[in-house]
Chain A
């Protein structure tokens, strides 16, 4: 909302600087986003600037209110005129090209001089001929042989609006010779209105907040003009079908008026407030809306009479019938539903209540009698209709947030007065006022202790009452209790405990949040609990980062097509189980992911173009909708993805080859070890994304916690990978996390020297390596401190279908030095057992 300072000053005295005013407004909840200066001096830049200032200051010596006494034709140019202009001390001849001066050309000395904004040589103003706002300095030139050193300004040149069709013609009472800034210098505050402060989308509303903070009295405008016309009762009637939709409807009538351009000061104010002046009738309705916050609507009364067959029209309000249509004044035919409220007459719909008028009964150049509507509407219906029709209007914006019905008659009265003042005509006596459902304005009581309890500050009852009274609550103080009657312009104050909270906000705002002292929490601490799930997830992240993997966090919004890429044809995830968006922003973000694996593959693919070594992981939720009548499951997963070179390239070393299955397995081994899981085993497995021969499942204590392996070559083809193979692990955290022990035990470290020995065993290819190792460990018992596989050989020297596994064994005891006899005996025992149970043969080197 744009608030011109000059307009605001109609309702309250302001002696604050522009910055102080902006700060004051911001601190009551009317955040000032920007201040455009229209002629007034810009604040000096003190180094600390709290608000954004834009605009043009008018030099009081260079911009003057002047009068054109005569408009003369230019001797050589039809499109130019020469003006005899008096600037208060001297008369000049000034060249202009303004089309709105042509009508005065050749009329000789004007009976009523034209008041204009006059810029002298050296004035800095906006260049009216260039797009946007570009500053230029007014210089002496010759145009078509006539010397020009000054000019008559348009609104654009002065920074008032982008209007450059003609020069400004000021109101006749503008004082010739005065500095322009003193006559109409201004500043416009761009204020954002919070959803619960729609009452402040008006000049009076903003002034009221200022009055509450500064204590300066609020000057509420009221109608002064008297009615001289006939009584309205005989000329119009109102029928309200549903008071829930339309709690109040007020009509006033002005007869014998004539639409014309509004006075210049009205046009300027409307423009500064962001509205386009139309004519003196429409301008009056907009002006009063901006002034009071109550949108008004003007009907061409004669059209209504005609529609009523020559009789006095009856206005009927009701819900629209589904399928009903109305052509609004923007000439669009709107189809309506049962939530739309209509203003009708006996012949049918006239306008969309609270949103936009209809085309047929709109005010035109030929309108001579105006029926003026001020009403109140159910905000939910108004919101529904404007959002369904994508129809944003100033009226819909206000009514859609709730306008108090009490404003209707006040605003209609002001509207009638301004219309008659700017368009002529006489005001009919009385109003037609149908008010079937006045809202309940709650009486709320709040105590000093209530305020203490919620705000942490002691504010005496008297001071509470002063704050609320300035906001027009009617207050009674009884000891520590203040009884506050909600004023009839607010719909945001509730009853009981909610009303108390509502008042608390008013008190805190006006008292100022800055004045509430800062304290530390002193209340009882809640019962403390562990958050093992989170702690373990964070621990796993640390372990993986320590193992050289980079964490990623990906989009949880994806598309079915993107996820299908990660699976073999015919084996993708069940499309029925997706959480599907009803209103996606784009097809590629239309479902919640069901596969974290697919998300991580995408990141691998993306980074494959910029890095040779890829090692990423992500922990996050998947979304699976199995039971559509409840909320979806959100199981958490860990996915690791690796591909490319085993190490980073260096300037003097060749790289160490490509990552493979066992690099990923090594990472998993290390991770599982660091979270102290016991009884981990691996078995060959199948997975719809993985190579059938290079896929394993991980079990802990016979609980399956995940699968890993090489991405199936056919799946890999769906991606743009340059690397030879891609490895993925998919770990189910819901299964893994509960297995992580709360505590773990350590083993003692021996002080006796170890005995190291290597053995190589030839076994059948079908015997899994982990079985061999398990047998070695079992047989070696406590004295066998470590077993490490250091070589696997296949080849002619041992025959087809066989493999040789070479182990490095470490014998070590906690309580004595192992002699060679003891280690030899142990070795023989191990070899014999392996021979017996799996047919292993000791290989001679």
Chain B
């Protein structure tokens, strides 16, 4: 061990001198590794950032404990025309379900329309208007900057009150003080009773709580959605705990089949959607991005590695005589091998550190555009590990060529 450290130290000194003697060549050579490592680090942190914000957004919109009973399936292999022919889920279905299901901690109806909202001369297009009832608050972790959610009475009476998401509130009321103001949703006047915290979200573009406006579902039917045609809703069901989700789902299916009067040989005419399925899909997509990213960066690293290998071969050739001298005075094969491996690992490590530095700068720049990246410790370890590995791997063949040189031939080399 002591001897190994000793040889490593000598190898490092030799490597350092060799690099210093060929400054420009060393810089050019490391360029490939610099680019390779920079892209590996950037890519991996970007992917991690994307993945994390996907998960976060999905959780903030749907909550991991929620399942959704819908006419439509988010995923799956039921053809869309069959889905279209299904019966809508009605408010009566919701009431029956709520009465019969025993496991859920909350059951709420939900329906969505997009409308333009106006306050004074400010218009916000494409707001997601969510029609629901007072229990909705139990299925999310919405935080209030001001005000409150609507009550059972307001809900049942179809009062024109609304709770608005952080981003919409910012646009409508740049000065704040939105509560108790009256806004127009399309052409109907609604009183603002609550404003949610801005969450910031990366997934689904605008479809996140920041761009939502919650109103009583009965008001929705009155103003924006016919109860009869296209009057379908979906039912959000909250499980008391994460572990309970499968049981709640199981029960939901049997209760819904009973309510819908399905015979044992008939298929479900509704879908149970849940966040887990969405996450699966996200993970798949992130996986694809990851593979593509790794392939591209792998290619960059590979090109860098070939550059290093090439320059190490040149270096070995140039120093044939030196190798002969070292062998003549007692250097063993493994010493020579170690010397060149150390050299190429050292060059790559330098390149890797420069690459890391560039990646950190790059991440800082990208962060300014609200793209979620930050270089973490594991990326630093990754950069150092990868550049050392590349150095050792691409140095192997040249180092072996040097190690197995015949001392007499090497000394005679001109």
Q: A and B: partners?
A: no
